[in-house]
Amino acid sequence: MSCTHKIQQLIEAGALFAVNHSAGKDSQAMLIRLRGIGVPDSQMVIIHADLGEVEWAGNLEHIKRWAGDIPIIIARARRELLEMVEDRGMWPSPKFRQCTSDLKRGPIERELRRYLKARPRFKSTIVNCMGMRAEESPARAKQKTFKRNDRNSKAGRAWYDWLPIHSMTKKQVFGAITRAGQTPHWAYAKGMSRLSCAFCIMASKSDLTTAANLRPELFAKYVALEKRIGHTLSMSGLGLEAVTGVSA
């Protein structure tokens, strides 16, 4: 059975479609696509992992602007990123992305399980929609676009993971937003290429520099923490001041 056919079956069966939304361009394009293929707003819920001070201002407002009547759940971890880094004495890395598992995936899955359990009309069936794209990295290019999540398919629950915009390019993502009569988050117009944490372990030098100039107080906190724990956010081993050329 093709992915498209399975998705249509799940729509017709009344499944819940959970839209993981960071306020970034990919999340925004994903919601546009879900509506475009006929997922009713009444069968969707938006889930946003609130990262506290390390995320960009206006994220939730941006999500709400285009959400319409779709409910929005806020998922929060028990501690924020800088607390986690201070406790561990080191930053996450591409290989050990504790920031993703502890601050996003874990809290999001917890809240979605609660939401689904409290709403029997969805028949204990959920499609967890995420905005990863193949163009972003070789690792993401290899990901399956649709699969059953056995770890979360428990206690009578059927849980599927789906990447609705996996094949879309960056140009197509921005194009979809424009055609829908929407605008992307303000940080893109300021020069950011990604909308994750303001200072992300995966960020380019350009994005780190842009963020340092846009968020000087937060930048100073990151620099101070680097020096305090003796470990750098950048995988290059250089401190943020050296990477960006910006003084804290």
- At 40-73, the pLDDT tens digits run 999 999 999 999 999 999 999 999 999 999 999 9
- Report which of 107, 55, 57, 106 is spatially closest to residue 82, judged by C-alpha positions: 55
pLDDT at 71: 98
Task: Report d(CA 246, CA 150) in Å as an integer.
Answer: 46
| 18 in Cβ contact with 47 (< 8 Å) | yes
* Least confident among 10-19, 85-94, 111-120, 180-189: 85-94
100-151 pLDDT tens trace: 778 899 999 999 999 999 999 999 999 999 999 999 989 889 999 999 999 9
Q: Which domains does the chain have, with CATH numbers?
A: 3-170 (3.40.50.620), 198-248 (no CATH)
83-102 pLDDT tens trace: 999 999 999 987 777 787 78
Calculate Rg over the CA atoms of the chain: 19
Residue 135 is classified by DSSP as G
pLDDT at 1: 62
Average pLDDT of the residues of the chain: 95
